[in-house]
Amino acid sequence: MELKTKNNPTAIDVESCRLNHESIKADFPILDQKVNGHRLVYLDNAATTQKPRVVINALIEYYRKTNANIHRGFHSLAEKATKEYEQTREHVARFIGGVDPNEIIFTRGTTESINLVAYSWGDTNIKEGDEIVITEMEHHSNLVPWVILAQKKKAVLKQIPITLCGHLDLSDIDKIITSKTKLLALTHMSNVLGTINPVAELTELAHRRGAVVLADGAQAVPHLPVDVKALGVDFYAFSAHKMLGPTGVGVLYGRRELLEAIPPFNLGGEMIREVRFDRITWADVPYKFEGGTPNIGDVIAFDSALTYLEELGMDNVRQHEINLVQYAIEQLSGLDGIEIQGPQESSLRGGAISFTDKDIHPHDISQFLDSRGVAIRAGHHCAQPLMRTLGKVATARASLYIYNDMTDVDELVRALIDMRKYFGL
């Protein structure tokens, strides 16, 4: 069977049809280094992922050969930059299920995408007494804008609670999502618990009650095949830097009729049709929402990240993560003092694995692991309300991606065992 990818002919093992980690690791120059005298084991992928050589090269090439401002120049470089920027928009549209490219807005990240909806859609549509429904497991990016909007509009903010296993507790959902609900904003995959939420089912319910649905896909798009049309959502937000792309690029998918009905977010150049001192008309979507010079080079380099993931195949990426998460959970569960948060069943979750040690603070865990070259995250992970529900001030979080393999999990486990010895436990 031929399973060669253009970027890396050995990225997929022909015998097993699985990702070939050694070969994939070699595409990421940053991984080929020692940190504190040890091989770098990078397990902070939920925060940001590393970049393959093709993305780094695309960025260098852009600044060496193309750099020009887009949409306004008539010289060759401006036309080339515009074409490549718009090609990435088309590529993103295909990557999330084949939507109209005009429904893809480039932003600086998931945070800005959600703020755009909160300001443009929220300010226009939320009225006093309306209800906004979020979940207890939201990242602050999909929480703070709704708290502030609810306060400003005297709307009611409701939360879907979570179960002890880290799933959404839907037992009272008919009381939470009601005919007063104007917006359901929920994460597709939790950055703390790894939980994959039933976005399609909840969207259907919310639509039946007349609400609009926004899903935060920051953790989902990098790890799962995502089809926004199949999910049925009205808005979907994610970030390039969590899926091998550069920082400073985000995506907002929005249903065209909704985007056409709401006002722009950033006012200034690029987003207008005609300006007079007494009257201004807006450009068509998506340009209405892309005021000012965008992050051109990074958007163009993002195209290479999408190609890289497509060549691996998002189904393979997902299957790899299911296998590796299962292994990691089994290994971590066997350790003294370690408690894992979130679903234990890997088919129901992604690669962000939060855990605590009953005797050692997460910050100390992270520091000790760093001394062994293992990079993880410790803290509240921008989810303070969730931490309160879990009864924790913080957790340690190891998060996996395509270049991680069982040897990385083994290094993590070895370092955790040594840590307890080091602390005399």
Catalytic residues: 382
Residue placing its CB nearer to ligand PLP in the complex, 38 or 380: 380
Smallest gap from Cβ 129 to ligand PLP, in A, equals 28
Determine which residue in the list 141, 295, 304, 307 makes contact with ligand PLP, applying CB under 6 A: 141
Binder among 239, 307, 316, 354 for ligand PLP (CB under 6 A)? 239
Q: Does 404 bind ligand PLP (CB under 6 A)?
A: no
| Smallest separation (angstroms) from ligand PLP to the CB of 252 | 11
Query: Which among 7-15, 135-143, 314-322, 342-350 is the span making contact with ligand PLP, rule CB under 6 A?
Result: 135-143
Nearest residue to 97 (alpha-carbon basis) of 236, 293, 267, 211: 236
218 near ligand PLP, rule: CB under 6 A: yes
Contacts of ligand PLP in 331-360 (CB under 6 A): none
Please state the closest distance from residue 80 (CB atom) to ligand PLP, in A. Answer: 28
Chain centroid offset of residue 306 CA: 14
Report the site for ligand PLP in 37-66 (rule: CB under 6 A). Answer: 46
Query: Rule CB under 6 A: is residue 110 a binding residue for ligand PLP?
Result: yes
Nearer to ligand PLP, 191 or 203 (CB): 191
Shortest CB 61 distance to ligand PLP, Å: 24
Instruction: Please tell me the distance from the alpha carbon of residue 133 to that of residue 87, in angstroms, as a whole number.
Output: 35
Shorter beta-carbon distance to ligand PLP: residue 219 or 295: 219
Sites for ligand PLP among residues 188-217 (CB under 6 A): 191, 216
Smallest separation, CB 148 to ligand PLP (Å): 16
Binding segment for ligand PLP (CB under 6 A), chosen from 65-73, 84-92, 106-114, 296-304, is 106-114
With helix as H, strand as E and coil as C, how does the chain read? Answer: CCCCCCCCCCCECCCCCCECHHHHHCCCHHHCCEECCEECEECECCCCCCCCHHHHHHHHHHHHHHCCCCCCCCCHHHHHHHHHHHHHHHHHHHHCCCCCHHHEEEECCHHHHHHHHHHHHHHHHCCCCCEEEEECCCCHHHCHHHHHHHHHHCCEEEEECECCCCCECCCCHHHHCCCCEEEEEEECECCCCCEECCHHHHHHHHHHCCCEEEEECCCCCCCCCCCHHHHCCCEEEEEHHHHCCCCCCEEEEECHHHHHHCCCCCCCCCCEEEECCCCEEECCCCHHHCCCCCCHHHHHHHHHHHHHHHHHCHHHHHHHHHHHHHHHHHHHHCCCCEEECCCCCHHHECCEEEEEECCCCHHHHHHHHHHCCEECEEECCCCHHHHHHHCCCCEEEEECCCCCCHHHHHHHHHHHHHHHHHCCC
Q: Does residue 109 interact with ligand PLP by CB under 6 A?
A: yes
Q: Please report how close the Cβ of residue 110 comes to ligand PLP at its closest, in angstroms.
A: 4
Closer to ligand PLP by CB, 216 or 408: give it.
216
Smallest distance, ligand PLP to C-beta of residue 95, A: 17
Report how many residues bind ligand PLP under the rule CB under 6 A.
Answer: 13
Q: How far is the CB of 46 from ligand PLP (least distance, A)?
A: 6
| Site for ligand PLP contains 219 (CB under 6 A) | yes
Which range of residues in 104-112, 152-160, 287-295, 355-363 is near ligand PLP by CB under 6 A?
104-112
* Closer Cβ to ligand PLP, 46 or 117, answer by number: 46
187 binds ligand PLP per the rule CB under 6 A: yes
Contacts of 332 (CB under 8 A, 6+ apart): 338, 340, 353, 355, 412, 413, 416
Q: Which whole-number Å values give the CA distances from 111 to 144, 207, 310, 423, in the listed order?
A: 10, 24, 25, 38
Q: Indicate the residue among 46 and 99 with the shorter CB distance to ligand PLP.
A: 46
Q: Tell me the C-alpha distance between 327 and 401, whole Å.
A: 14
Note whether 111 binds ligand PLP by CB under 6 A.
yes
Binding flag, residue 139, ligand PLP (CB under 6 A): yes
Nearer to ligand PLP, 218 or 338 (CB): 218
Site for ligand PLP, rule CB under 6 A: 46, 109-111, 139, 141-142, 187, 191, 216, 218-219, 239
